[in-house]
């Protein structure tokens, strides 16, 4: 019998749920991914997740892996006790629902819920590009921008269990209205949504265009990367990070985006606060949230 401890990590997004059986070293042993229909009721979504967890438990027991807990990360604001989701932008039927309490009732193992940005940060902190960094910010740039601040190995939880709404700092106060209701948010300038608005292409399309040598595509990615750097300058003024770990689909566009972000930070930021800040790609890729969720369950 295998005496090692394993946890199930679940990364629940607006389009899919990613689940894995993960060990204490962050290695994924069993995985599955299921599409999510965000229009479903909170009840139906909870039943679906519980069923997926059950399937994974069965698979783990067939492999003689001992599951000691479950970690679930998802977008949204949770209440203090993590029983209630106050607001979930990508899963609107869950806002104000008892989704978390319903899942907790239906699974037989200890379960821990957290924000998806915290899952990614916890994963990168323990197994990825954020190891041994005292003041760290882990940011995911996809359709939107989210992130968590880690100080001394602990996620900074200011309210609703998040470090703040990092993608919605204002970088261009006379700029475009953001989906959040504010104006000129970093998310309107540096995210996948911004790339789509400015370049008329999705992140994936623009990635292919760059490989094909499309100068306009490259210009759009550099522009968005530069604004990310400008946003990082503000995060530096508030949190004074030593390292910025950037992941997500847009970060996967690669060095052009990162170089532009470094240039933006140099041009915009206060030199004293920003000159030694490293901007590095995330190491765990799209698994960061799932691995982090499992690691949180194992760390209890």
Closest distance to Zn ion from the beta carbon of 191 (Å): 10
Closest distance to Zn ion from the beta carbon of 117 (Å): 15
Alpha-carbon distance of 277 to 238, in angstroms, equals 13
Closest distance to Zn ion from the beta carbon of 243 (Å): 25
User: Is 45 within 8 Å of 23 (Cβ atoms)?
Assistant: no
Closest distance to Zn ion from the beta carbon of 76 (Å): 15
Closest distance to Zn ion from the beta carbon of 211 (Å): 31
Binding region for Zn ion (CB under 5 A): 168, 178, 180, 182, 185
E-strand ranges in 62-181 read 66-74, 77-78, 85-87, 111-115, 135-141, 145-151, 154-155
Nearer residue to Zn ion within complex by CB, 168 or 243: 168
Nearer residue to Zn ion within complex by CB, 8 or 228: 228
Nearer residue to Zn ion within complex by CB, 182 or 280: 182
Provide the 3-class DSSP secondary structure of residue 163. coil
Nearer residue to Zn ion within complex by CB, 165 or 274: 165
Which residue is listed with tokens 């749920």? 17
Closest distance to Zn ion from the beta carbon of 86 (Å): 17
Nearer residue to Zn ion within complex by CB, 56 or 250: 250
DSSP 220-258: HHHHHHHHHHHHHHHHHHHH--SEEEEESTTGGG-HHHH
Alpha-carbon distance of 149 to 146, in angstroms, equals 11
Which residue is listed with tokens 């059986």? 21
Alpha-carbon distance of 119 to 137, in angstroms, equals 13
Nearer residue to Zn ion within complex by CB, 193 or 243: 193
């Amino acid at each position: 019998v295998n005496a090692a401890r394993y946890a199930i990590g679940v990364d629940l997004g607006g389009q899919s749920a990613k689940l894995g059986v993960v060990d204490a070293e962050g290695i994924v042993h069993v995985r599955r991914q299921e599409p999510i229909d965000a229009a479903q009721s909170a009840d139906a979504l909870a039943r679906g997740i519980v069923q997926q967890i059950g399937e994974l438990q069965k698979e783990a027991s067939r492999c003689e892996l001992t599951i000691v807990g479950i970690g679930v990360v998802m977008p949204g604001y949770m209440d203090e006790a993590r029983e209630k989701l106050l607001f979930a932008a990508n899963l609107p039927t869950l806002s104000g629902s008892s989704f978390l309490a319903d899942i907790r009732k239906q699974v037989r193992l200890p379960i821990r819920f957290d924000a998806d940005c915290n899952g990614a940060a916890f994963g990168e902190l323990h197994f990825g590009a954020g190891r041994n960094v005292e003041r760290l910010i882990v940011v995911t740039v996809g359709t939107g921008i989210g992130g968590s601040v880690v100080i001394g190995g602990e996620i900074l939880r200011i309210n609703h269990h998040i470090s703040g709404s990092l993608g919605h700092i204002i970088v261009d106060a006379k700029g475009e209205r953001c989906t959040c209701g504010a104006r000129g948010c970093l998310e309107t300038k540096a995210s996948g949504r911004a790339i789509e608005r400015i370049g008329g292409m999705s992140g994936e399309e623009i990635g292919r265009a760059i490989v094909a040598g499309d100068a306009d595509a490259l210009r759009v990615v550099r522009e968005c990367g530069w604004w990310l750097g400008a946003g990082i300058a503000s995060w530096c003024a508030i949190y004074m990070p030593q390292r910025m770990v950037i992941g997500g689909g847009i970060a996967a566009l690669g060095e052009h985006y990162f170089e532009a972000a470094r240039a933006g930070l140099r041009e915009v930021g206060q030199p004293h606060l920003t000159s030694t800040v490293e901007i590095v790609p995330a190491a765990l890729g799209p698994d960061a949230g799932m691995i982090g969720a499992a690691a949180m369950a194992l760390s209890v």
